């Protein structure tokens, strides 16, 4: 009997090659605001900057407010998202890659690299953030969509069956 293989989504992350170091800005993460925003000290800058992970929207703070009020606890997906960024990045060096499609403002939109890991992709894959509505035209837009879809299909983080959505 022939083995039937159904088309299924990739269960892992698509590897992404980190750009040349000369094109990236070195920074140290000095704070985590939410699941998509960091406070960094960019090498050579005197002031700390807010950095938004391109393609990632934070988890909604009011996930099922009734559940939060009854339990008097932060919902696990929101807690886990914040803890992930704190334990992975806080006090560590990262590399920032700017997307030419986005103009920098008071909050710097960037792809955040730690070694050879694209943190934007990792956050979405683990279900610690939501895919931004507008990812078309972004350098890593397709890869970010793939990571977010895998998290949803696998029930990771925010998408977990026990999550109080």
- What is the H or E stretch that residue 34 is in? strand 25-34
User: pLDDT tens for residues 49-96?
Assistant: 999 999 999 887 654 445 455 555 566 677 778 789 999 999 999 999
Query: DSSP string of 63-131?
Result: SSHHHHHHHTS--HHHHHHHHHHHHHHTTSEEEEE--TTS---SEEEEEEEETTEEHHHHHHHTTSSEE
Predicted model pTM:
0.83
Euclidean distance between CA atoms 165 and 153, whole angstroms: 16
Q: Check if the beta carbon of residue 51 is closer than 8 Å to that of residue 34.
A: no
């Amino acid at each position: 009997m022939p083995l039937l293989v159904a088309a299924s989504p990739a269960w892992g992350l698509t590897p992404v090659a980190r750009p040349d170091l000369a094109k990236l800005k070195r920074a140290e993460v000095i704070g985590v605001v939410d699941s998509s925003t960091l406070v960094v000290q960019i090498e050579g800058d005197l002031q700390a900057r807010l950095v938004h992970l391109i393609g990632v929207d934070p988890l909604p703070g009011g996930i099922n407010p009734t559940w939060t009020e009854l339990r008097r606890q932060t919902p696990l997906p929101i807690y886990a998202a914040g803890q992930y960024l704190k334990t992975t990045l806080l006090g560590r060096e990262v590399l920032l890659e700017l997307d030419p499609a986005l103009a920098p403002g008071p909050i710097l939109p960037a792809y955040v690299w730690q070694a050879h890991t694209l943190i934007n992709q990792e956050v979405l894959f683990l279900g610690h953030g939501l895919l931004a509505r507008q990812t078309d035209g972004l350098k890593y837009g397709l890869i970010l969509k793939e990571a977010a879809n895998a998290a949803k299909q696998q029930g990771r983080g925010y998408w977990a069956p026990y999550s109080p959505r």
